Amino acid sequence: MISIQKLKEILERFKHVKIAVIGDMMLDEYLIGKVNRISPEAPVPVVNIEKERFVLGGASNVANNLISLSASVSVYGVVGADTNGEKFIKELEAKKIDSIGIVKDNSRPTIIKSRVLAQGQQLLRLDWEKDIDISLENQDKILELLKKDLKSIDAILLSDYNKGLLTERLSKKIIKLAKENEKVVVVDPKPQNFKNYIGATSVTPNKKEILDYFGMKKFSSEEEIVKKLAQLKKELELENVVLTRSEEGVSLFETKHKRIPTVAREVYDVTGAGDTFISTFLLARCAGADLYEAGEIANMASGIVVAKVGTATATKEEILEFYETVQEHL
């Protein structure tokens, strides 16, 4: 594993890094209450709401993870010209996330996912969204805003939830702009959009996403996984591929395959673990970690958030504590 001294040095440099996060911005709403009776109107529980809270979701959860790790962040995306859009921007401000790239669109709602919870169980989820591509006008607005911010950032993170923000046109223009300005671009892609990201520095799909991309149900062997990672790297003209494999750990492919095993820890909720991984991975790379070291640090951060309930983040202090716990069991 990475040495404790190197880990501390990388974590210390996090505060000097600024990342631009571009992607599908969302707001997660949690309506929390108790169920004491069944409705007389229909055979459904009546939830007496006791608490309501909002959490940054989607690409903005990636930004929240970066802020939690002491980085500076600017976000680029689209929200509706509505009340939820105002709530979203207030959440960004509360987290000290720069909303320089947020564009308001009258033709679509702010993406919000409302979850109703009672007695620790999710009873219902309500989604407000339009997943059609954003307009050419808004694509150009985001690109122009990014150009103004480009000198102050260290890297770009594209967070694709397939809700219409990262169109083929916009994605290719962002990657071209990044290359012209020697900026790293790391992408968390959706399978149907992989080809949008030709020429990026790195992609970080999970196992299901890479299987879907290749039209496969499962991998027959470790050798087949390595073969497909090499194929993906070549097809998308990447510098490297990072495959997250849940309980099987992480696979890294640059010129050869390296694997990081997962660290045993009780899993409560995998929500947002991918966001934590990609944000920590890119941040570590910008802070001087090599590919394998960045994978190790990101793997630890993901191990922290899956032990928490709901959309969560990790801190530098938690990563150090996690590292020490792992060392004790080696």
Distance CA 207, CA 218 (A): 9
275 catalytic? Reply is yes
Query: Is 40 in a helix, a strand, or coil?
Result: coil
Q: Which of 98, 127, 275, 290 is catalytic?
A: 275
| DSSP bridge pairs for 51 | 32
Distance CA 225, CA 243 (A): 9
Residue 100: phi and psi, rounded to 5, are -50, -35
Dihedral angle sign, alpha carbons of residues 203, 161, 138, 114: negative
Residues contacting residue 200 through CB under 8 Å, at least 6 positions apart: 158, 175, 185, 186, 187, 236, 238
Token pair of 30, please? Answer: 């949690």
The DSSP bridge pattern shows strands 111-118 and 121-128 to be antiparallel
As a whole number of angstroms, the longest Cα–Cα distance in the chain is 64
**Tokens 């990081």, located at residue:** 260
Rounded to the nearest 10°, the torsion over CA 163, 165, 169, 172 is -100
Q: What is the identity of the amino acid at 231?
A: Q
Cα–Cα distance list, 175 to 37, 63, 184, 236 (Å): 54, 19, 9, 12
**Helix axes 316-328 and 4-13, enclosed angle (nearest 10):** 170
CA R_g for the chain: 20
Residue 135: phi and psi, rounded to 5, are -65, 160
Positions marked active-site? 275
